[in-house]
Structure 1
Protein backbone atom coordinates (compact mmCIF):
# COMPACT_ATOMS: atom_id res chain seq x y z
CA UNK A 1 0.00 0.00 0.00
CA UNK A 2 1.59 3.28 -1.08
CA UNK A 3 0.76 6.63 0.52
CA UNK A 4 2.28 9.74 2.04
CA UNK A 5 1.59 10.12 5.78
CA UNK A 6 0.16 13.55 6.63
CA UNK A 7 2.83 16.11 7.50
CA UNK A 8 1.05 16.90 10.76
CA UNK A 9 1.68 13.31 11.88
CA UNK A 10 5.31 13.37 10.76
CA UNK A 11 6.01 16.60 12.66
CA UNK A 12 4.19 15.52 15.80
CA UNK A 13 5.91 12.14 16.01
CA UNK A 14 9.26 13.84 15.55
CA UNK A 15 8.51 16.15 18.47
CA UNK A 16 7.34 13.33 20.72
CA UNK A 17 9.71 10.47 19.90
CA UNK A 18 12.66 12.02 18.07
CA UNK A 19 13.58 11.97 14.40
CA UNK A 20 15.30 8.57 14.49
CA UNK A 21 12.42 6.68 16.08
CA UNK A 22 9.92 8.48 13.87
CA UNK A 23 11.80 7.70 10.67
CA UNK A 24 11.98 4.01 11.58
CA UNK A 25 8.25 3.67 12.22
CA UNK A 26 7.26 5.78 9.22
CA UNK A 27 9.52 3.66 7.06
CA UNK A 28 7.67 0.54 8.20
CA UNK A 29 4.24 2.15 7.95
CA UNK A 30 3.34 0.90 4.44
CA UNK A 31 4.21 -2.65 5.50
CA UNK A 32 2.24 -2.27 8.73
CA UNK A 33 -0.79 -1.00 6.82
CA UNK A 34 -0.52 -3.91 4.40
CA UNK A 35 -0.22 -6.32 7.30
CA UNK A 36 -3.36 -4.90 8.90
CA UNK A 37 -5.30 -5.13 5.64
CA UNK A 38 -4.17 -8.74 5.19
CA UNK A 39 -5.19 -9.54 8.77
CA UNK A 40 -8.68 -8.35 7.95
CA UNK A 41 -8.93 -11.23 5.50
CA UNK A 42 -9.56 -9.16 2.39
CA UNK A 43 -12.61 -7.57 3.97
CA UNK A 44 -11.33 -4.01 3.60
CA UNK A 45 -10.96 -1.74 0.59
CA UNK A 46 -8.90 1.42 0.99
CA UNK A 47 -10.43 4.77 0.11
CA UNK A 48 -7.85 7.30 1.29
CA UNK A 49 -5.74 8.53 4.20
CA UNK A 50 -7.58 10.92 6.51
CA UNK A 51 -5.88 14.31 6.45
CA UNK A 52 -4.73 16.36 8.21
CA UNK A 53 -5.28 13.50 10.65
CA UNK A 54 -4.08 13.16 14.21
CA UNK A 55 -0.78 13.73 15.96
CA UNK A 56 -0.08 10.17 17.07
CA UNK A 57 -1.50 7.78 14.48
CA UNK A 58 -2.37 7.24 10.83
CA UNK A 59 -6.05 6.85 9.98
CA UNK A 60 -6.95 5.14 6.72
CA UNK A 61 -10.54 5.41 5.58
CA UNK A 62 -11.77 2.04 4.33
CA UNK A 63 -15.01 0.23 3.64
CA UNK A 64 -15.84 -3.37 4.39
CA UNK A 65 -17.00 -5.99 1.93
CA UNK A 66 -20.63 -5.30 2.79
CA UNK A 67 -20.12 -1.59 2.03
CA UNK A 68 -19.93 -0.44 5.65
CA UNK A 69 -17.55 2.51 6.02
CA UNK A 70 -14.84 2.11 8.65
CA UNK A 71 -11.52 3.59 9.75
CA UNK A 72 -8.26 1.70 10.15
CA UNK A 73 -6.11 3.38 12.78
CA UNK A 74 -2.40 2.50 12.95
CA UNK A 75 -0.26 3.83 15.80
CA UNK A 76 3.33 3.33 16.98
CA UNK A 77 3.82 1.18 20.08
CA UNK A 78 4.70 4.25 22.18
CA UNK A 79 1.19 5.61 21.56
CA UNK A 80 -0.30 2.63 23.41
CA UNK A 81 -2.65 1.05 20.83
CA UNK A 82 -3.12 -2.02 23.04
CA UNK A 83 -4.30 0.21 25.90
CA UNK A 84 -6.68 2.03 23.56
CA UNK A 85 -8.05 -1.30 22.33
CA UNK A 86 -8.69 -2.48 25.89
CA UNK A 87 -10.56 0.71 26.79
CA UNK A 88 -12.68 0.70 23.62
CA UNK A 89 -13.56 -2.96 24.15
CA UNK A 90 -14.71 -2.15 27.68
CA UNK A 91 -16.81 0.85 26.64
CA UNK A 92 -18.22 -1.14 23.70
CA UNK A 93 -19.44 1.98 21.92
CA UNK A 94 -20.93 3.67 25.00
CA UNK A 95 -19.87 7.29 24.54
CA UNK A 96 -16.91 6.26 22.42
CA UNK A 97 -16.13 5.12 18.91
CA UNK A 98 -16.93 1.43 18.50
CA UNK A 99 -14.22 -1.15 17.90
CA UNK A 100 -15.35 -3.24 14.92
CA UNK A 101 -12.80 -6.03 14.98
CA UNK A 102 -10.97 -7.39 18.00
CA UNK A 103 -8.88 -9.78 15.89
CA UNK A 104 -5.55 -10.50 17.54
CA UNK A 105 -3.90 -10.43 14.11
CA UNK A 106 -4.37 -6.66 13.97
CA UNK A 107 -2.48 -6.15 17.23
CA UNK A 108 0.91 -6.91 15.69
CA UNK A 109 0.64 -3.90 13.40
CA UNK A 110 -0.72 -1.62 16.12
CA UNK A 111 -3.98 -1.35 14.16
CA UNK A 112 -7.56 -0.79 15.27
CA UNK A 113 -10.56 -1.15 13.01
CA UNK A 114 -13.12 1.44 14.09
CA UNK A 115 -16.54 2.63 13.07
CA UNK A 116 -16.36 5.60 10.70
CA UNK A 117 -17.06 8.97 12.26
CA UNK A 118 -17.06 12.39 10.62
CA UNK A 119 -13.40 13.11 11.34
CA UNK A 120 -13.71 16.65 9.98
CA UNK A 121 -16.46 17.64 12.48
CA UNK A 122 -15.48 17.87 16.14
CA UNK A 123 -16.94 19.79 19.06
CA UNK A 124 -14.52 22.59 18.19
CA UNK A 125 -16.88 23.40 15.31
CA UNK A 126 -19.53 24.49 17.82
CA UNK A 127 -19.75 27.74 19.79
CA UNK A 128 -17.86 27.45 23.07
CA UNK A 129 -20.84 27.22 25.43
CA UNK A 130 -22.55 24.53 23.33
CA UNK A 131 -19.27 22.63 22.88
CA UNK A 132 -18.65 22.48 26.63
CA UNK A 133 -22.22 21.31 27.25
CA UNK A 134 -21.91 18.49 24.71
CA UNK A 135 -18.43 17.59 25.99
CA UNK A 136 -19.72 17.23 29.54
CA UNK A 137 -22.57 14.99 28.38
CA UNK A 138 -20.19 12.81 26.41
CA UNK A 139 -17.38 12.36 28.91
CA UNK A 140 -19.69 11.35 31.75
CA UNK A 141 -20.62 8.21 29.77
CA UNK A 142 -17.01 7.05 29.81
CA UNK A 143 -16.66 7.13 33.59
CA UNK A 144 -17.32 3.50 34.47
CA UNK A 145 -15.63 0.96 36.69
CA UNK A 146 -12.55 -0.46 34.94
CA UNK A 147 -12.48 -4.15 34.00
CA UNK A 148 -11.09 -6.64 36.50
CA UNK A 149 -7.32 -7.06 36.29
CA UNK A 150 -7.17 -4.09 33.94
CA UNK A 151 -3.90 -3.09 32.20
CA UNK A 152 -4.22 0.65 32.75
CA UNK A 153 -2.01 3.03 34.71
CA UNK A 154 -3.48 4.92 37.61
CA UNK A 155 -3.51 8.70 37.66
CA UNK A 156 -0.97 8.58 40.49
CA UNK A 157 1.39 6.41 38.42
CA UNK A 158 1.09 8.48 35.24
CA UNK A 159 1.55 11.81 36.95
CA UNK A 160 4.48 10.50 39.00
CA UNK A 161 6.33 9.76 35.75
CA UNK A 162 5.58 13.25 34.50
CA UNK A 163 7.06 15.04 37.49
CA UNK A 164 10.65 14.36 36.39
CA UNK A 165 10.26 16.41 33.22
CA UNK A 166 8.62 19.22 35.16
CA UNK A 167 11.50 19.39 37.64
CA UNK A 168 14.00 19.44 34.78
CA UNK A 169 12.12 22.35 33.21
CA UNK A 170 12.30 24.28 36.49
CA UNK A 171 16.04 23.68 36.70
CA UNK A 172 16.57 24.83 33.12
CA UNK A 173 14.30 27.88 33.49
CA UNK A 174 14.35 29.18 37.10
CA UNK A 175 11.52 31.60 36.31
CA UNK A 176 9.25 28.54 36.09
CA UNK A 177 10.30 27.13 39.46
CA UNK A 178 7.50 28.66 41.54
CA UNK A 179 4.80 27.54 39.09
CA UNK A 180 6.22 24.03 38.86
CA UNK A 181 6.45 23.74 42.65
CA UNK A 182 2.83 24.85 43.00
CA UNK A 183 1.75 22.21 40.48
CA UNK A 184 3.78 19.48 42.18
CA UNK A 185 2.35 20.42 45.57
CA UNK A 186 -1.18 20.27 44.17
CA UNK A 187 -0.51 16.81 42.74
CA UNK A 188 0.94 15.50 46.02
CA UNK A 189 -2.18 16.57 47.89
CA UNK A 190 -4.56 15.21 45.26
CA UNK A 191 -3.06 11.71 44.96
CA UNK A 192 -2.87 11.30 48.73
CA UNK A 193 -6.62 10.83 48.99
CA UNK A 194 -8.09 9.92 45.59
CA UNK A 195 -11.91 9.77 45.95
CA UNK A 196 -12.63 7.31 43.13
CA UNK A 197 -11.04 4.88 40.69
CA UNK A 198 -12.93 5.03 37.39
CA UNK A 199 -11.85 4.36 33.83
CA UNK A 200 -11.01 7.74 32.29
CA UNK A 201 -10.34 8.90 28.74
CA UNK A 202 -7.05 10.40 29.85
CA UNK A 203 -6.77 13.08 27.14
CA UNK A 204 -10.33 14.35 26.83
CA UNK A 205 -10.89 17.62 24.98
CA UNK A 206 -13.21 19.04 22.35
CA UNK A 207 -11.16 17.84 19.38
CA UNK A 208 -11.44 14.27 20.67
CA UNK A 209 -15.24 14.26 20.27
CA UNK A 210 -16.40 13.69 16.69
CA UNK A 211 -19.79 13.67 15.02
CA UNK A 212 -21.20 10.22 14.32
CA UNK A 213 -24.17 8.41 12.84
CA UNK A 214 -24.93 6.04 15.72
CA UNK A 215 -24.84 8.91 18.19
CA UNK A 216 -24.48 12.66 17.67
CA UNK A 217 -21.07 12.80 19.38
CA UNK A 218 -18.57 10.05 20.17
CA UNK A 219 -15.13 10.15 21.76
CA UNK A 220 -11.96 9.01 20.02
CA UNK A 221 -8.27 8.71 20.87
CA UNK A 222 -8.30 7.71 24.54
CA UNK A 223 -5.10 7.49 26.56
CA UNK A 224 -6.88 5.44 29.23
CA UNK A 225 -6.04 5.79 32.89
CA UNK A 226 -7.80 4.89 36.13
CA UNK A 227 -8.56 7.58 38.65
CA UNK A 228 -10.88 10.44 39.52
CA UNK A 229 -13.18 12.39 37.22
CA UNK A 230 -11.55 15.73 38.06
CA UNK A 231 -8.36 14.57 36.35
CA UNK A 232 -10.26 13.84 33.13
CA UNK A 233 -11.99 17.22 33.15
CA UNK A 234 -8.78 19.18 33.72
CA UNK A 235 -7.67 19.09 30.08
CA UNK A 236 -11.10 20.26 28.95
CA UNK A 237 -10.86 23.39 31.10
CA UNK A 238 -8.07 24.84 28.98
CA UNK A 239 -9.58 24.00 25.59
CA UNK A 240 -9.20 26.74 22.97
CA UNK A 241 -6.39 28.19 25.05
CA UNK A 242 -5.37 30.44 22.15
CA UNK A 243 -8.76 32.16 22.28
CA UNK A 244 -8.59 32.46 26.06
CA UNK A 245 -5.17 34.10 25.96
CA UNK A 246 -6.32 36.54 23.27
CA UNK A 247 -9.40 37.53 25.26
CA UNK A 248 -9.19 40.40 27.78
CA UNK A 249 -11.46 38.36 30.03
CA UNK A 250 -9.41 35.18 29.76
CA UNK A 251 -8.50 34.73 33.43
CA UNK A 252 -12.10 35.17 34.57
CA UNK A 253 -13.33 32.82 31.83
CA UNK A 254 -10.85 30.14 32.87
CA UNK A 255 -11.91 30.28 36.51
CA UNK A 256 -15.57 30.29 35.47
CA UNK A 257 -15.01 27.12 33.43
CA UNK A 258 -13.59 25.37 36.46
CA UNK A 259 -16.64 26.33 38.51
CA UNK A 260 -19.22 25.46 35.85
CA UNK A 261 -17.70 22.09 34.91
CA UNK A 262 -17.33 21.14 38.57
CA UNK A 263 -20.95 22.03 39.27
CA UNK A 264 -22.43 20.40 36.18
CA UNK A 265 -20.60 17.11 36.71
CA UNK A 266 -20.68 17.11 40.52
CA UNK A 267 -16.92 17.22 40.90
CA UNK A 268 -15.23 18.97 43.81
CA UNK A 269 -14.14 22.37 42.51
CA UNK A 270 -10.88 22.46 44.47
CA UNK A 271 -9.81 19.10 43.03
CA UNK A 272 -10.62 20.18 39.49
CA UNK A 273 -8.66 23.39 40.05
CA UNK A 274 -5.67 21.43 41.34
CA UNK A 275 -5.61 18.96 38.46
CA UNK A 276 -6.12 21.76 35.94
CA UNK A 277 -3.05 23.50 37.34
CA UNK A 278 -0.93 20.36 37.34
CA UNK A 279 -1.91 19.26 33.85
CA UNK A 280 -1.42 22.74 32.38
CA UNK A 281 2.07 23.07 33.87
CA UNK A 282 3.02 19.54 32.84
CA UNK A 283 1.77 20.08 29.30
CA UNK A 284 3.38 23.50 28.99
CA UNK A 285 6.81 22.41 30.20
CA UNK A 286 6.69 19.31 27.98
CA UNK A 287 5.81 21.44 24.95
CA UNK A 288 8.80 23.69 25.64
CA UNK A 289 11.06 20.65 25.93
CA UNK A 290 9.79 19.35 22.58
CA UNK A 291 10.44 22.68 20.87
CA UNK A 292 6.78 23.71 20.62
CA UNK A 293 7.49 27.06 22.17
CA UNK A 294 4.32 28.94 21.24
CA UNK A 295 1.86 26.44 22.66
CA UNK A 296 4.11 25.87 25.66
CA UNK A 297 4.16 29.54 26.56
CA UNK A 298 0.41 29.91 26.03
CA UNK A 299 -0.31 26.94 28.28
CA UNK A 300 1.98 28.18 31.03
CA UNK A 301 0.39 31.64 30.86
CA UNK A 302 -2.98 29.94 31.33
CA UNK A 303 -1.55 28.08 34.35
CA UNK A 304 -0.47 31.39 35.91
CA UNK A 305 -4.10 32.55 35.84
CA UNK A 306 -5.18 29.71 38.10
Structure 2
Protein backbone atom coordinates (compact mmCIF):
# COMPACT_ATOMS: atom_id res chain seq x y z
CA UNK A 1 0.00 0.00 0.00
CA UNK A 2 1.53 3.31 -1.08
CA UNK A 3 0.45 6.61 0.45
CA UNK A 4 1.95 9.70 2.07
CA UNK A 5 1.39 9.99 5.84
CA UNK A 6 -0.49 13.18 6.80
CA UNK A 7 1.93 16.06 7.27
CA UNK A 8 0.51 16.93 10.71
CA UNK A 9 1.54 13.47 11.94
CA UNK A 10 4.96 13.66 10.29
CA UNK A 11 5.63 17.09 11.81
CA UNK A 12 4.43 16.15 15.29
CA UNK A 13 6.51 12.98 15.47
CA UNK A 14 9.52 14.91 14.23
CA UNK A 15 9.15 17.34 17.13
CA UNK A 16 9.27 14.65 19.82
CA UNK A 17 12.09 15.50 22.19
CA UNK A 18 12.83 12.41 24.26
CA UNK A 19 16.00 10.46 23.63
CA UNK A 20 15.97 8.36 20.49
CA UNK A 21 12.46 9.46 19.55
CA UNK A 22 13.32 11.08 16.22
CA UNK A 23 15.00 7.95 14.87
CA UNK A 24 12.18 5.75 16.15
CA UNK A 25 9.57 8.04 14.59
CA UNK A 26 11.32 8.03 11.20
CA UNK A 27 11.56 4.24 11.24
CA UNK A 28 7.87 3.89 12.12
CA UNK A 29 6.81 6.37 9.42
CA UNK A 30 8.88 4.49 6.83
CA UNK A 31 7.06 1.28 7.75
CA UNK A 32 3.61 2.87 8.04
CA UNK A 33 2.18 1.77 4.65
CA UNK A 34 3.07 -1.84 5.37
CA UNK A 35 1.84 -1.57 8.97
CA UNK A 36 -1.50 -0.18 7.80
CA UNK A 37 -1.94 -2.93 5.20
CA UNK A 38 -1.15 -5.60 7.79
CA UNK A 39 -3.58 -4.13 10.32
CA UNK A 40 -6.37 -4.05 7.73
CA UNK A 41 -5.79 -7.63 6.65
CA UNK A 42 -5.50 -9.08 10.16
CA UNK A 43 -8.83 -7.57 11.16
CA UNK A 44 -10.63 -8.03 7.84
CA UNK A 45 -11.16 -4.29 7.50
CA UNK A 46 -11.94 -2.44 4.29
CA UNK A 47 -10.23 0.93 3.98
CA UNK A 48 -12.44 3.87 3.08
CA UNK A 49 -9.85 6.63 3.39
CA UNK A 50 -7.04 7.96 5.56
CA UNK A 51 -8.08 11.07 7.47
CA UNK A 52 -6.15 14.26 6.84
CA UNK A 53 -4.96 16.35 8.54
CA UNK A 54 -5.69 13.67 11.14
CA UNK A 55 -4.05 13.42 14.54
CA UNK A 56 -0.60 14.27 15.88
CA UNK A 57 0.22 10.96 17.54
CA UNK A 58 -1.38 8.34 15.30
CA UNK A 59 -2.70 7.62 11.82
CA UNK A 60 -6.50 7.66 11.60
CA UNK A 61 -8.42 5.88 8.85
CA UNK A 62 -12.11 5.36 8.17
CA UNK A 63 -12.80 1.67 7.67
CA UNK A 64 -15.60 -0.89 7.52
CA UNK A 65 -15.54 -4.12 9.51
CA UNK A 66 -16.30 -7.50 7.94
CA UNK A 67 -19.99 -7.15 8.80
CA UNK A 68 -20.14 -3.70 7.16
CA UNK A 69 -20.09 -1.71 10.40
CA UNK A 70 -18.31 1.64 9.96
CA UNK A 71 -15.39 2.14 12.33
CA UNK A 72 -12.18 4.09 12.82
CA UNK A 73 -8.74 2.50 12.71
CA UNK A 74 -6.02 4.23 14.69
CA UNK A 75 -2.44 3.12 14.15
CA UNK A 76 0.08 4.49 16.62
CA UNK A 77 3.82 4.05 17.20
CA UNK A 78 4.93 2.26 20.38
CA UNK A 79 6.02 5.60 21.87
CA UNK A 80 2.35 6.70 21.90
CA UNK A 81 1.53 3.73 24.17
CA UNK A 82 -1.54 2.45 22.32
CA UNK A 83 -1.85 -0.44 24.77
CA UNK A 84 -2.48 2.04 27.59
CA UNK A 85 -5.08 3.89 25.53
CA UNK A 86 -6.80 0.58 24.75
CA UNK A 87 -6.83 -0.38 28.44
CA UNK A 88 -8.42 2.94 29.41
CA UNK A 89 -11.06 2.72 26.68
CA UNK A 90 -11.86 -0.84 27.72
CA UNK A 91 -12.26 0.34 31.31
CA UNK A 92 -14.70 3.11 30.31
CA UNK A 93 -16.52 0.74 27.92
CA UNK A 94 -18.18 3.56 26.03
CA UNK A 95 -19.14 5.60 29.12
CA UNK A 96 -18.10 9.15 28.21
CA UNK A 97 -15.62 7.91 25.60
CA UNK A 98 -15.63 6.22 22.22
CA UNK A 99 -16.04 2.47 22.43
CA UNK A 100 -13.07 0.18 21.79
CA UNK A 101 -14.07 -2.47 19.24
CA UNK A 102 -10.71 -4.23 18.88
CA UNK A 103 -7.39 -3.66 20.62
CA UNK A 104 -3.79 -4.17 19.48
CA UNK A 105 -2.79 -7.63 18.23
CA UNK A 106 0.72 -8.73 19.15
CA UNK A 107 1.67 -5.13 19.89
CA UNK A 108 0.88 -3.81 16.40
CA UNK A 109 -0.38 -0.49 17.81
CA UNK A 110 -3.74 -0.66 16.03
CA UNK A 111 -7.07 0.21 17.67
CA UNK A 112 -10.45 -0.28 16.01
CA UNK A 113 -12.83 2.28 17.47
CA UNK A 114 -16.43 3.32 17.28
CA UNK A 115 -16.73 5.82 14.45
CA UNK A 116 -17.60 9.36 15.53
CA UNK A 117 -17.97 12.59 13.59
CA UNK A 118 -14.30 13.58 13.43
CA UNK A 119 -15.12 16.95 11.88
CA UNK A 120 -17.36 18.04 14.81
CA UNK A 121 -15.65 18.61 18.16
CA UNK A 122 -16.53 20.80 21.12
CA UNK A 123 -14.37 23.49 19.54
CA UNK A 124 -17.24 24.04 17.10
CA UNK A 125 -19.37 25.40 19.96
CA UNK A 126 -19.28 28.79 21.65
CA UNK A 127 -16.79 28.71 24.52
CA UNK A 128 -19.30 28.82 27.38
CA UNK A 129 -21.32 25.93 25.92
CA UNK A 130 -18.15 23.98 25.05
CA UNK A 131 -16.83 24.23 28.61
CA UNK A 132 -20.18 23.08 30.01
CA UNK A 133 -20.28 20.03 27.73
CA UNK A 134 -16.60 19.28 28.35
CA UNK A 135 -17.09 19.31 32.11
CA UNK A 136 -20.02 16.92 31.81
CA UNK A 137 -17.98 14.57 29.63
CA UNK A 138 -14.76 14.48 31.63
CA UNK A 139 -16.68 13.85 34.85
CA UNK A 140 -17.77 10.46 33.44
CA UNK A 141 -14.17 9.38 32.83
CA UNK A 142 -13.01 9.78 36.42
CA UNK A 143 -13.36 6.23 37.71
CA UNK A 144 -11.39 3.81 39.84
CA UNK A 145 -8.57 2.26 37.79
CA UNK A 146 -8.71 -1.52 37.35
CA UNK A 147 -6.76 -3.67 39.76
CA UNK A 148 -3.21 -4.38 38.65
CA UNK A 149 -3.23 -1.60 36.07
CA UNK A 150 -0.05 -0.45 34.35
CA UNK A 151 -0.98 3.21 33.84
CA UNK A 152 1.50 5.94 34.68
CA UNK A 153 0.82 7.99 37.79
CA UNK A 154 0.66 11.78 37.65
CA UNK A 155 3.94 11.86 39.57
CA UNK A 156 5.63 9.71 36.93
CA UNK A 157 4.10 11.60 34.01
CA UNK A 158 5.08 15.04 35.30
CA UNK A 159 8.60 13.93 36.19
CA UNK A 160 9.13 13.45 32.46
CA UNK A 161 9.08 17.22 31.91
CA UNK A 162 12.20 17.74 34.01
CA UNK A 163 14.59 17.94 31.08
CA UNK A 164 12.54 20.54 29.22
CA UNK A 165 12.14 22.66 32.36
CA UNK A 166 15.89 22.51 33.07
CA UNK A 167 16.71 23.53 29.51
CA UNK A 168 14.39 26.55 29.62
CA UNK A 169 15.66 27.72 33.01
CA UNK A 170 19.27 27.48 31.82
CA UNK A 171 18.63 29.19 28.49
CA UNK A 172 16.50 32.11 29.68
CA UNK A 173 17.09 33.67 33.09
CA UNK A 174 13.81 35.61 32.79
CA UNK A 175 11.89 32.33 32.92
CA UNK A 176 13.66 30.80 35.90
CA UNK A 177 11.19 32.25 38.39
CA UNK A 178 8.25 30.78 36.47
CA UNK A 179 9.96 27.38 36.21
CA UNK A 180 10.74 27.43 39.94
CA UNK A 181 7.12 28.30 40.72
CA UNK A 182 5.88 25.43 38.56
CA UNK A 183 8.24 22.96 40.23
CA UNK A 184 7.19 24.17 43.67
CA UNK A 185 3.52 23.81 42.77
CA UNK A 186 4.06 20.23 41.59
CA UNK A 187 6.01 19.28 44.72
CA UNK A 188 3.33 20.76 46.98
CA UNK A 189 0.51 19.05 45.12
CA UNK A 190 2.18 15.64 45.10
CA UNK A 191 3.03 15.90 48.79
CA UNK A 192 -0.69 15.69 49.55
CA UNK A 193 -2.15 13.66 46.68
CA UNK A 194 -5.83 13.41 47.46
CA UNK A 195 -7.06 10.67 45.11
CA UNK A 196 -5.97 8.09 42.55
CA UNK A 197 -8.51 7.93 39.73
CA UNK A 198 -8.20 7.01 36.08
CA UNK A 199 -7.84 10.24 34.08
CA UNK A 200 -7.97 10.97 30.35
CA UNK A 201 -4.54 12.61 30.61
CA UNK A 202 -4.85 14.83 27.53
CA UNK A 203 -8.38 16.18 27.88
CA UNK A 204 -9.38 19.27 25.91
CA UNK A 205 -12.23 20.42 23.72
CA UNK A 206 -10.71 19.04 20.52
CA UNK A 207 -10.65 15.56 22.12
CA UNK A 208 -14.45 15.45 22.48
CA UNK A 209 -16.29 14.52 19.28
CA UNK A 210 -19.90 14.26 18.25
CA UNK A 211 -21.34 10.75 18.29
CA UNK A 212 -24.48 8.85 17.35
CA UNK A 213 -25.37 7.02 20.57
CA UNK A 214 -24.66 10.08 22.72
CA UNK A 215 -23.96 13.69 21.72
CA UNK A 216 -20.33 13.94 22.90
CA UNK A 217 -17.64 11.33 23.48
CA UNK A 218 -13.97 11.66 24.42
CA UNK A 219 -11.23 10.29 22.18
CA UNK A 220 -7.44 10.06 22.18
CA UNK A 221 -6.71 9.34 25.85
CA UNK A 222 -3.18 9.47 27.20
CA UNK A 223 -4.30 7.79 30.42
CA UNK A 224 -2.78 8.48 33.79
CA UNK A 225 -3.77 7.80 37.39
CA UNK A 226 -4.04 10.68 39.83
CA UNK A 227 -6.30 13.47 41.00
CA UNK A 228 -9.05 15.05 38.94
CA UNK A 229 -7.52 18.54 39.19
CA UNK A 230 -4.66 17.39 36.93
CA UNK A 231 -7.09 16.45 34.16
CA UNK A 232 -9.11 19.63 34.54
CA UNK A 233 -5.96 21.74 34.13
CA UNK A 234 -5.70 20.58 30.52
CA UNK A 235 -9.18 21.93 29.86
CA UNK A 236 -8.30 25.27 31.46
CA UNK A 237 -5.49 25.62 28.92
CA UNK A 238 -7.81 25.31 25.92
CA UNK A 239 -8.32 28.20 23.44
CA UNK A 240 -5.51 30.24 24.98
CA UNK A 241 -4.76 32.22 21.81
CA UNK A 242 -7.99 34.18 22.10
CA UNK A 243 -7.57 34.60 25.83
CA UNK A 244 -4.03 35.96 25.63
CA UNK A 245 -5.05 38.34 22.84
CA UNK A 246 -7.81 39.84 25.01
CA UNK A 247 -7.23 42.98 27.07
CA UNK A 248 -8.98 41.23 29.96
CA UNK A 249 -7.19 37.94 29.39
CA UNK A 250 -5.54 37.69 32.80
CA UNK A 251 -8.72 38.18 34.81
CA UNK A 252 -10.74 36.02 32.41
CA UNK A 253 -8.17 33.22 32.69
CA UNK A 254 -8.27 33.26 36.48
CA UNK A 255 -12.08 33.22 36.41
CA UNK A 256 -11.93 30.19 34.10
CA UNK A 257 -9.93 28.28 36.70
CA UNK A 258 -12.45 29.19 39.39
CA UNK A 259 -15.51 28.46 37.26
CA UNK A 260 -14.32 25.04 36.10
CA UNK A 261 -13.15 24.02 39.58
CA UNK A 262 -16.47 25.02 41.11
CA UNK A 263 -18.53 23.33 38.39
CA UNK A 264 -16.86 20.01 39.19
CA UNK A 265 -16.58 20.61 42.95
CA UNK A 266 -12.78 20.57 42.96
CA UNK A 267 -10.38 22.57 45.10
CA UNK A 268 -9.60 25.82 43.27
CA UNK A 269 -6.02 25.99 44.53
CA UNK A 270 -5.23 22.47 43.32
CA UNK A 271 -6.69 23.19 39.89
CA UNK A 272 -4.70 26.43 39.76
CA UNK A 273 -1.50 24.63 40.83
CA UNK A 274 -1.76 21.91 38.21
CA UNK A 275 -2.71 24.49 35.58
CA UNK A 276 0.43 26.47 36.42
CA UNK A 277 2.63 23.41 36.20
CA UNK A 278 1.10 22.10 32.99
CA UNK A 279 1.24 25.51 31.31
CA UNK A 280 4.93 25.99 32.14
CA UNK A 281 5.85 22.37 31.33
CA UNK A 282 3.99 22.47 28.01
CA UNK A 283 5.53 25.86 27.23
CA UNK A 284 8.99 24.50 27.96
CA UNK A 285 8.37 21.48 25.72
CA UNK A 286 7.13 23.80 22.95
CA UNK A 287 10.28 25.92 23.23
CA UNK A 288 12.42 22.82 23.02
CA UNK A 289 10.58 21.84 19.82
CA UNK A 290 10.97 25.42 18.49
CA UNK A 291 7.21 26.08 18.52
CA UNK A 292 7.86 29.57 19.80
CA UNK A 293 4.39 31.01 19.26
CA UNK A 294 2.73 28.25 21.24
CA UNK A 295 5.34 28.53 23.98
CA UNK A 296 4.83 32.27 24.29
CA UNK A 297 1.07 31.88 24.76
CA UNK A 298 1.42 29.13 27.38
CA UNK A 299 4.07 30.96 29.39
CA UNK A 300 2.17 34.25 29.24
CA UNK A 301 -0.90 32.50 30.63
CA UNK A 302 1.18 30.82 33.35
CA UNK A 303 2.48 34.22 34.47
CA UNK A 304 -1.11 35.32 35.19
CA UNK A 305 -1.69 32.50 37.65
Query: What's the CA shift string for 1:51-108, capped at 9, x where partnerless?
Result: 1111110001101222211000001111110110110111111101100113x52x43
Equivalent position of 2:42 in the other structure = 39
In the TM superposition, 1:172-191 aligns within 5 A as 172-191=171-190
- Which residues in structure 2 correspond to 1:130-141 (within 5 Å)? 130-141=129-140
Structure 2 match to 1:98 = 99
Which residue number in structure 2 is paired with residue 5 of structure 1? 5
Q: Residues 73-88 of structure 1: matches in 2 within 5 Å? A: 73-88=74-89
Aligned partners of 1:217, 1:4: CA distance in 2, in Å?
31
Alignment partners' CA distance in 2, 1:194 and 1:108? 33
Aligned partners of 1:263, 1:152: CA distance in 2, in Å?
28
Number of corresponding residues: 302
Equivalent residue, structure 2, for 1:28 = 31
Matches within 5 A, 1:112-261: 112-261=111-260
Displaced runs of 4 or more, over 4 A: none
Aligned partner of residue 161 in structure 2, secondary structure: helix
Is residue 266 of structure 1 aligned with residue 269 of structure 2?
no
Unaligned runs of 5+ in 2: none
Greater mean deviation of Cα atoms: 2-11 or 82-91: 2-11
Task: For residues 153-204 of structure 1, give each alpha carbon's deviation from its aligned partner in whole angstroms, at most 9, with x where no partner exists.
Answer: 1111111222232122101111110000000000000000111100000010
Q: Distance in 1 between matches of 2:14 and 2:114?
A: 28
Q: Distance in 2 between matches of 1:88 and 1:116?
A: 14
Shift of 1:229: 0.4
Q: What is the Cα deviation at residue 20 of structure 1?
A: 3.2
Q: CA deviation at 1:24?
A: 1.1
**Secondary structure of the equivalent of 2:152?**
coil
The match for 2:68 is 67
In 1, Cα distance between equivalents of 2:32 and 2:208? 26
Distance 1:289 1:164 in 2: 10
Normalization by structure 2: what TM-score?
A: 0.97
Shift of 1:21: 2.9
**8 Å contact 1:8–1:55 — kept in the other structure?**
yes
CA distance in 2, matches of 1:16, 1:282: 14
- The aligned counterpart of 2:59 is 58
CA contact (8 A) 1:196 1:227 kept: yes
**Corresponding residue for residue 15 of structure 1:** 15
Shift of 1:19: 4.6
SS at match of 2:160: helix
Distance 2:40 2:50 in 1: 14
Distance 1:162 1:192 in 2: 18
Cα distance in 1 for residues equivalent to 2:83 and 2:68: 27
- After superposition, the C-alpha distances for 1:100-125 in whole angstroms (9 at most, x for unaligned) are 113x52x4321000010111111000
Greater alpha carbon shift after TM alignment, 17-26 vs 200-209: 17-26
For residues 202 and 195 of structure 2, what CA distance do their matches in structure 1 show?
18
TM-score by length of 1: 0.96
CA contact (8 A) 1:35 1:109 kept: no
